[in-house]
Structure 1
Amino acid sequence: MSIFSGDNKLKKLLSAFNTRVGLLSFIVFFVWVKSMIAYFGVFNLRGVGPAELVLMIINPIGFTAICFAVLLFIRRTSLFYLATLVLTIAANFLLYLNILYYREFTDFITIDTMTGGAGMFQHGFDFGSVPVHLMDWVYWIDLVVIIVLLIAKKIKFDQRPVGAKRAFTYLSMGLALFGLDFWFGDFNKHQLILRKAQSDKTYIVRYLGLGPWMLTDSYYTHLANTQRKDASKESLQEIQKYIASNRYLAPNMKMYGIAKNRNVIEIHLESFQQALIDLKIKGTDGKEHVVTPFLNSIYHSNSTYSFSNFFNQVGQGKTSDAENLLETSTFGLPAGSLFAKYGSTQTFQAMPAILNQTDGYSSAVVHGNVGAFYNRLNTYKQMGYQNFFDQSFFDNSASNMSPWGIKDKLLFRDSVPLLEQMQQPFYVKYLTVTNHLTYTMDDEDKDPNFATVDSGNKLVDGYFETAHYLDQAVQQFYDYLKKSGLYDKSIIVLYGDHYGISGSDNKAFAPYVGYNGDTLNSYDTTMLQRTPFMVDIPGQTSGHIINTYVGQLDVMPTLEHLLGIDTKKYVQFGQDMFASGRQDFVALRNGGFVTPTITQPSLNGSFYDTQTGLQIEKLNAQQEQYVKETKQKVSYLLKASDKLNNQNLLRFYTPEGFKAVDPKDYNYTVKATEKKLKKENEDLAARSNSLLSQNQGKSTLPDYSVDIPEVQKGQDSPKVKD
């Protein structure tokens, strides 16, 4: 008896394959099933609430139905079945390629990646070690079933074309479902395609699916390529002349090189505003509480150079814009994230590459989120980061996670087995995540001796709690640095990336930070754009609070000069914060500016006296001239930065003594990283400068505080073995 014979139900099922509509329906169903397996089993997409969960469940259906419904307009039988086979293979290939790539890089395929531009074949994608799993046959089961049924002649070609009217009905149903899906997704995340696609591709996959993500990526890739086609070396030379005559400043020789050859540890204080420094609040217990006692002590330390008027200059790219500003001394884009839009192919002359080539620094980023977020996996390679310790390096079980990744206390602690293997001097950036919108945390992570306010606004109440948690996390890390001996060999840079509270929530936030919520204006909200910037140089005693007006654009040349690196040959728009002759304005990404005397919060906004906060109803002649000149300077600065980045002009210039970064040199997978770090230490042997080698192979992890709930419960242990 044939394996295909049986009862009537089986015959009915097989007979459905004999119609064009039935065959396509089964294929769409199979694609949906496999997508669900991939979404939840491989991509670990997590819906925030029932709305996102529903979107994730239905999103593959509409787009897939549209693609296959188009085939119903084909009348010729042989052509219909050939097209069906090709499209089915393409759908399976797209899904499975993303599965393999995600397993290796925790990222989704982009057009640049597939064509080689971003490095699927250049960035360490080793086909000899492709992570194929035993159960992967399930992603090809529909194709196998159809081919077997064809060979067994259990599927007969349907010679009857589907009428145009009926075909249009099926197509309309697919369009309607996809349209509803798109509308709901955009309603849930405003400007889903225009904005969210440029910050995090997982939004598009989560809300619309892999197919729409590829189309969205194709669109932005086309825009980028079109914009860069007419770029010329002459354009770069104009910018270089502008920088030489208007932006570059010779270093302050009293500060130049005072941190030469020290480790550089950057601590990115997520969503942390300057207003939190020295802030005391009256908690729900009726007592006064200091929100960030440890960071306050660093801010006032005589080893720390702290800036009280340090403004974030980010745009829509938020955290990634802050990184770009600090790593390249250029602005982010007017819309979207430079990391997401251009990061895969951009030419950078960034901090990790400059430090490595100048003074032999090793480099790493430590981040509790997935590597795909803001396209960091590709962008960091273009910047020359040797290591990227993302979420895949740590225990990301539910108890260890905040809404945005590994909890900060665990991130710092569990990075130790990695950090101690790195060759010194090193340049390491820690991206914290716990103090991130929506400012929620597990009860066990809350300090029982700290009580937040009852403002009537959950974001504001939670913000003080998560900021306090971040403060404790930094303190524990500092304690470790001192016990391990790293503190005295390093400089520690602490900075806030952007505001934490904004929009309508500012009204509830204002009274706690010295403002009136009812009279809050654009000047006030601009002043709230200030974030901390502190450079702690152990051993220095001249540290103090500096009131100079500076921005994130200025960080890179400032640090380079402290490390004894001349910036004259590099294309950087910032100015050393310690140098004399600084231009007296901070350009905001929206076209506004802040100066010591006049502030304009946005391009066409009102003018305010910076010192008093009072609105200037009418500018006098001298003020008008000053404002006109400042606006021209701000406009040219922003346009020059945008031109440099949009047209990728740095590809036309390699500074003397600098070697262009080759992203093929870097592989951020866990296995490759573990192997590389171990090999470096073994090959160097007695010449190894890693902390682990200096301690004769004994780990410094026991030096770290165990005052972390997950550690005390024994739930957490670093994934990477030393």
Structure 2
Amino acid sequence: MQRVVSAIKKWWPDFNSTIGFLILSVILVTIKTYWAYQFEFSLGAKGLLQQFLLFVNPIPTAVILLGIALYFRGKLAYWLMIIINFIQSLWLFSNILYYREFSDFISLNIMKAGGSVQNNLGKAIGEIIHPIDFIVFLDIIILILLLVFKRIKVDQGVVQKRFAILTTALGVASMLAVFGMASSDRSGLLTRTFDNNYIVKYLGLNEYAAYNIVKTKEQANEVKKAKSSDLDQIKEFVNENKTLANSATFGKAKGKNVIIFHLESFQQFLLDYRWDGQEVTPNINAFYHDQNTTAFDNFYNQVGQGKTADAELMLETSLFGTSSGSVMSNYGGTNTFQTMPAQLSQEGYTSAAFHGDVPSFWNRDNTYKNWGYDYFFSKSYYKNADNPDYNVGYGMKDKIFLKGTANYLEKLPQPFYSKVITVTNHYPYDLDEQNVSINKTQTDDGTVDGYVQTARYLDQAFGEFEQNLKDNGLWDNSMIVLYGDHYGISENHKSAIAKLLGTDKVTATDLTNWQKVPFMVRVPGMEGGIKHTYGGEIDVMPTLLGLLGIDDDQQIKFGQDLLSSQNKQIVPFRNGNWVTSEYTRVGSSYYVTSTGTKINPKQDPRAKMAIDDANKYVEKALGYSDKVVQGNLLRFLDKKDIPKNQTKNISYKKSTSLKKLKQVDQSKTVIGAHGGQLTEYKTDAPELGGNKQEKNDGEDGTNSNEIASVNSILSGHGSEHDR
């Protein structure tokens, strides 16, 4: 026994030495990172090799980074290791919080775009943080205490330079060894993957950061290297996958107004969902089942890191978001696009977007201008918009926001194309007591249980907005579109999802289907119904253009008309997974879509053929879309194929926009048809007087009943503060 103890003492590092302190620090960094991998991230490590890689992949960068301290001596070396450890821990901590909400890791583009998404994030982060998360800083506190109380004594000796270099070389060599083992298990890891989980699982969180920085710089160089011939293969792919229009529905909405209602974080499962003996969303349910509504119950969100911004991008351009960051933030104001508002402007449409928050969020102010929106009504356009009682989470409460939006819609020249973005049903699903009308769910997950309350509030706001459309006549003269932008409850809340779905546990295909969001289109006079076609947000633009009777043959788009019988029914996800009417891919596994049964394609030639075809299609669609965006390839199209958006003539300055509204042909507006009077908007918003009769004021606070003309309604706006 004494020999064993002696042997341990001989090989056990002396933590009082600089080298010993380095070894201790590396051990602690490895342990806490592995803990985070296992309990904070869903990396799907399977088998001994993947688990081994998961444990060892923090070591190389820990050795390299902490080893920097070996080039210094005394206290400086020790405190450098603690500072480097703290920076690594802060990176780990930040990713834990980000992953909990977005099921992804922080990218360079996300950090660069921080200014466009930071509004109100403080409150959301407060909801995301769990006390256990701070365990990643525990080792730093311990190390500091050990030094302060001299349980570990600072070694004043100098580490030989060659030993410091050898340590750095050891870190690099171990990194290459990890990469070699990872590549043997996952070929093409850095060249073909669309999923950041793979990079972190095989190589590590720090290596992912380095990889992401390199990829981001490569993407920045794409524009410089791009040439017109790069479009040839992409055009060929797009033309091969074009679909013939459905002759029965093509042009059914021709010349009608378009009102797109953006349902924030709204998932398909909420439709007809009952909780506590009540329908959670009775108004949206009624719209879903309306005889003139065509709805799709196998429609999926396909967003990446851009979330809402990615949904808008697909809606307006039929291009996918990139694998890193938001296209709107990174390319929205500079790239050439073929967009819905620019396309419809050629058909005589006025276009307007509405959002109850600051215009810079997701770089909307620059992107919308580049996309060709004539108007962008952001928060400053709404009466008393900064009143704290009028706001929650990420902007104005939906009932108050929609009342002001309805007033502006009546002033737009028809036909118009409009997009109305709601925000109240956004994480962290907070709602003041006076607006709560349904109890929280009981999943024991604080992140999830308030979701039905904000969804109910959104539904009530939509019901009021819908009634106003019926009252002012727009209901019968507009194509009304409802779509959910992305999931509200991430797949990281598996236990809560199971309880909401009434099952014991959720399967891989359950989580894929959890990505379903609503897409429904109501066209007056057109027979509707619930379609089972498989599709996603990339398909919205071609579907709407078909209903509007607009030829889009010259467009580079990656979606297909969902009403066409030729639709491939392949739904790519940004991470490379996909779903079709037959099969579903999750990571490297495949399932029968209808049953969730896992299959081995090698044992079924027919399945293998279908799966291989889907894999090729998805890889090309995502890859080619990335090339279009990152290389700004649409600039090489013939000018006749790019709708003019007259960006230089567009201004979202409040005084300028309201002056432009004042000068429109009033005979084309709803308010003009009503003798200059706004339609009374009925709302039970307690902030506006509850169920009392709501005086329908103009957004500058003047009572429209006191005004004889539209011009006087709009007068006086220009002197207000512009945002």
TM-score w.r.t. the length of structure 2 is 0.68
Amino acid at match of 1:457: D
Q: Aligned in 2, Cα 1:508/1:378: closer, same or farther, shift over 3 Å?
A: same
| 1:398 aligned to which of 362, 380, 388 | 388
SS of the residue aligned with 1:330? coil
Answering whether residue 685 of structure 2 is matched by residue 708 of structure 1, we say yes
Separation in 2, partners of 1:498, 1:442: 24
Tell me the residue number matched to 1:549: 534
SS of the residue aligned with 1:504? coil
Q: Aligned in 2, Cα 1:199/1:465: closer, same or farther, shift over 3 Å?
A: farther
Amino acid at match of 1:663: T
Q: 1:185 offset after TM fit, Å?
A: 6.5
Q: Aligned in 2, Cα 1:718/1:180: closer, same or farther, shift over 3 Å?
A: farther
Amino acid at match of 1:610: T
| 1:264 aligned to which of 258, 268, 274 | 258
Answering whether residue 420 of structure 2 is matched by residue 430 of structure 1, we say yes
Separation in 1, partners of 2:624, 2:216: 22
**Cα pair 1:570 1:655 within 8 Å, conserved:** no
Gaps of at least 5 residues in structure 1 are: 1-167, 209-217
Tell me the residue number matched to 2:350: 362
SS of the residue aligned with 1:660? coil
Tell me the residue number matched to 2:672: 693
Answering whether residue 652 of structure 2 is matched by residue 668 of structure 1, we say yes
Q: For 1:175-254, what aligned pairs fall within 5 Å after superposition?
A: 194=108, 196-197=110-111, 199-202=113-116, 225-245=220-240, 247-254=241-248
Separation in 1, partners of 2:372, 2:239: 25
Separation in 1, partners of 2:676, 2:219: 48
SS of the residue aligned with 2:699? coil
SS of the residue aligned with 1:307? strand
Superimposed CA distance per residue, residues 227-268 of structure 1 (whole angstroms, 9 cap, x where no aligned partner): 2111111111321122112x2112111101110110000001
Tell me the residue number matched to 1:600: 585
Q: 1:204 offset after TM fit, Å?
A: 7.0
Amino acid at match of 2:521: V
Separation in 2, partners of 1:696, 1:662: 32
Q: For 1:6-17, what aligned pairs fall within 5 Å after superposition?
A: none
Q: 1:595 offset after TM fit, Å?
A: 1.1
Separation in 1, partners of 2:300, 2:409: 30
Separation in 2, partners of 1:506, 1:549: 24
Gaps of at least 5 residues in structure 2 are: 1-75, 100-104, 123-212, 702-712, 714-723
Q: For 1:51-90, what aligned pairs fall within 5 Å after superposition?
A: none
SS of the residue aligned with 1:229? helix
**Cα pair 1:303 1:543 within 8 Å, conserved:** yes
Answering whether residue 429 of structure 2 is matched by residue 439 of structure 1, we say yes
Tell me the residue number matched to 1:613: 596
Q: For 1:485-504, what aligned pairs fall within 5 Å after superposition?
A: 485-504=473-492
SS of the residue aligned with 2:493? helix
Tell me the residue number matched to 1:579: 564
Separation in 2, partners of 1:583, 1:180: 45
Amino acid at match of 2:655: K
Separation in 2, partners of 1:188, 1:612: 34
SS of the residue aligned with 1:656? helix
Separation in 1, partners of 2:262, 2:422: 6
Q: 1:408 offset after TM fit, Å?
A: 0.8
SS of the residue aligned with 2:574? coil
Q: Aligned in 2, Cα 1:693/1:238: closer, same or farther, shift over 3 Å?
A: same
Q: Aligned in 2, Cα 1:304/1:643: closer, same or farther, shift over 3 Å?
A: same
Superimposed CA distance per residue, residues 516-572 of structure 1 (whole angstroms, 9 cap, x where no aligned partner): 33xx222111011011110011222x2111001111111111110100101111111
Separation in 1, partners of 2:409, 2:227: 42
Separation in 2, partners of 1:442, 1:467: 14
Q: 1:454 offset after TM fit, Å?
A: 2.1
| 1:569 aligned to which of 554, 565, 575 | 554
Superimposed CA distance per residue, residues 587-642 of structure 1 (whole angstroms, 9 cap, x where no aligned partner): 1111111111110123x2x1111111122256412211221121011111111111
SS of the residue aligned with 1:471? helix
Separation in 1, partners of 2:424, 2:605: 49
Tell me the residue number matched to 2:522: 536
Superimposed CA distance per residue, residues 266-308 of structure 1 (whole angstroms, 9 cap, x where no aligned partner): 0011111111111112x3xxxx111111111111111100101
SS of the residue aligned with 2:663? helix
Q: Aligned in 2, Cα 1:654/1:197: closer, same or farther, shift over 3 Å?
A: farther
**Cα pair 2:338 2:643 within 8 Å, conserved:** no
Answering whether residue 279 of structure 2 is matched by residue 290 of structure 1, we say yes
Separation in 1, partners of 2:380, 2:546: 35
Amino acid at match of 2:257: N
Identity %: 39
Q: 1:397 offset after TM fit, Å?
A: 1.2
Separation in 2, partners of 1:525, 1:297: 27
Separation in 2, partners of 1:527, 1:189: 23
SS of the residue aligned with 2:447? helix
Amino acid at match of 1:491: M
Q: 1:203 offset after TM fit, Å?
A: 5.8
Tell me the residue number matched to 1:411: 401
Q: Aligned in 2, Cα 1:643/1:524: closer, same or farther, shift over 3 Å?
A: same
Q: Aligned in 2, Cα 1:599/1:224: closer, same or farther, shift over 3 Å?
A: closer
Tell me the residue number matched to 1:353: 342
**Cα pair 1:364 1:386 within 8 Å, conserved:** yes
SS of the residue aligned with 1:458? coil
SS of the residue aligned with 2:468? helix
User: Greater shift after overlay, 183-192 or 619-628?
Assistant: 183-192
Separation in 2, partners of 1:199, 1:544: 41
Q: 1:402 offset after TM fit, Å?
A: 1.2
**Cα pair 1:271 1:499 within 8 Å, conserved:** yes
Q: Please give the root-mean-square deviation of Cα atoms over the aligned residues, in Å.
A: 3.1
Q: Aligned in 2, Cα 1:434/1:483: closer, same or farther, shift over 3 Å?
A: same
Tell me the residue number matched to 1:647: 631
Separation in 2, partners of 1:257, 1:206: 42
Separation in 2, partners of 1:647, 1:271: 31
Separation in 2, partners of 1:315, 1:573: 16
Superimposed CA distance per residue, residues 411-452 of structure 1 (whole angstroms, 9 cap, x where no aligned partner): 1101133221111011110111111111111111112xx333
Q: Aligned in 2, Cα 1:469/1:207: closer, same or farther, shift over 3 Å?
A: closer
TM-score w.r.t. the length of structure 1 is 0.68
